[in-house]
A and B are shown apart, each in its own frame.
Chain A
């Protein structure tokens, strides 16, 4: 409506910034228990109603990012269908068998399994599907639960920049700033191996006393029981054997990765329907539909802020803070993104950074690539600082603690605060050395 009123550019900028800021603060604090999705959508609808963004521009923004939306859909579908096949339970039992009674070796195997699942299915699958599976497994084995849970939740983020498909954040950033596969592997895969090693090393030291024991293999559930339907299980393995290399080939050819993910998910859904392992309604329940509203809302809100020139100013600020050096670019990009992910969650931060990175496109290639790789790295690994949620969640947990209520989330926070800055610094340093 204001679009048609004679508002000066100053007032339009002020209003759009105010709505944008309110949306981000809303996502941080989630007043009245509103979901992030409702808040982001509310922000976008307000901007449209106020005429601060044209409907055509909003639609164009969403269409331009079709790859991100489809990737989320395909990724969640693949994980849900692989879970239906019992793949994650089966893999967890195999990891325990290979551990040969040793709690320590099982800990290492959980790290390796989490790494492999994150690499192929994305961090979502490790955090949401593998974690409860491992919880059941170690409870049955009468091992201390916490080290293994921490291993799953941390490795989900720590291993999430091994490949472009290991975290949807990578797709969000790379849809705007594509990195050739070899550049991605050099700047992110290798640093990822470094931070995984650091993560494992520190955790091993922290939990060494709890990992001294052995477990009785007779308590292990049978791997055959994990397989809900043998034919569908074999079919799932075959589909994944095609999907995994297809991801790598598509990345190398700069082909949209969402098409591979969606095709793989459709194949698995078709198989599950054929063998009557699911229904369309059940398959739909495996998808978090609200995330699409959240991302769409964020894209529109950030686009409106972008039109005011604020994100360009933010980008210029980042460039100035970097001092025009590749080292500064990597450090500012990494720690800025990591801090932002803990304030407003990693998806909004990646969208904001996407917009801000427009300012560094004309910088030297080392600085440009440094910023892009550091943004992916910071947004992917940053959430480990407050693993169980955003800074707002942690503040709430601290308030509860003050009221003498014992809260478990703080255990994660303590470990995150100890481990994550070390990993961030070591990873950023590796990226800089490889630039």
Chain B
């Protein structure tokens, strides 16, 4: 079975552990961990430059610094996942995360995508309406294979008022 784990920089343990759940499957397990460098901010910066009558950012000195920072962040994201899924392949893509995830899943011939519900910024896991972020929602809608949506345990938020 080919399982693709999608990392977002904050969920290395969650995704790293979740992809291991498929180890019990009878088929041999191949795991890949994916980190996407979000191209959105760069596109926004380019649109801003256009508003101020400037050409896009290519060839600007700061572009190299941006790329170096993004690459280092992506590598660190992958390392956080590799700590839990040591034998995993690693994939790095650049673009809109939701599009890159579904396209990478198709190219890599993933049979399952494992994705977190949303990026948590050190808060207790969010349950209830809007608990699935726009990236995960897009992947659920457009994935070429089954999707396993994972979130941290949130038992302390129960019982929900009936």
Contact = CB atoms under 8 A, between A and B. Distances in A.
A232 interface: no
Interface stretch (A143-151, A179-187, A194-202): A143-151
Contact of A135 (B9, B51, B53, B66): B66
A211 B53 CA distance: 32
A290 B60 CA distance: 18
Q: How large is the interface on B (under 10, 10 to 19, 20 to 34, 35 or more residues)?
A: 35 or more
Interface in A134-171: 135-136, 139-140, 142, 144-146, 149, 153
A330 B15 CA distance: 55
A294 B123 CA distance: 49
Interface stretch (B22-30, B36-44, B152-160): B36-44
Contacts of B66: 132, 135-136, 139
Given A132-B45, A139-B66, A408-B41, A127 B98 contact: no
B143 to A, nearest CB: 14
Interface string B127-150: 000000010001000000000000
Interface residues of A, number: 40
A406 B54 contact: no
A209 interface: yes
A345 to B, nearest CB: 7
A383 B48 CA distance: 11
Nearest to A214: B122
A408 B62 contact: no
A358 interface: no
B116 to A, nearest CB: 15
Interface stretch (A62-70, A372-380, A386-394): A386-394
Contacts of B48: 127-128, 131, 153, 387-388
A254 interface: no
A288 interface: yes
A142 B43 CA distance: 20
Interface of B, helix, strand, loop or mixed by DSSP: helix
A406 B98 contact: yes
Contacts of A345: 51
A389 B54 contact: no
B47 interface: yes
B13 interface: no
Nearest to B57: A132
Interface in A375-425: 383, 387-390, 393, 406, 408-409, 411-412
Interface of B: 9, 38, 40-41, 43-45, 47-54, 57, 60, 62-63, 65-66, 69-70, 72-73, 76, 96, 98-99, 119, 121-123, 134, 138
Interface of A: 35-37, 124, 127-128, 131-133, 135-136, 139-140, 142, 144-146, 149, 153, 209-213, 288, 290-291, 294, 345, 383, 387-390, 393, 406, 408-409, 411-412
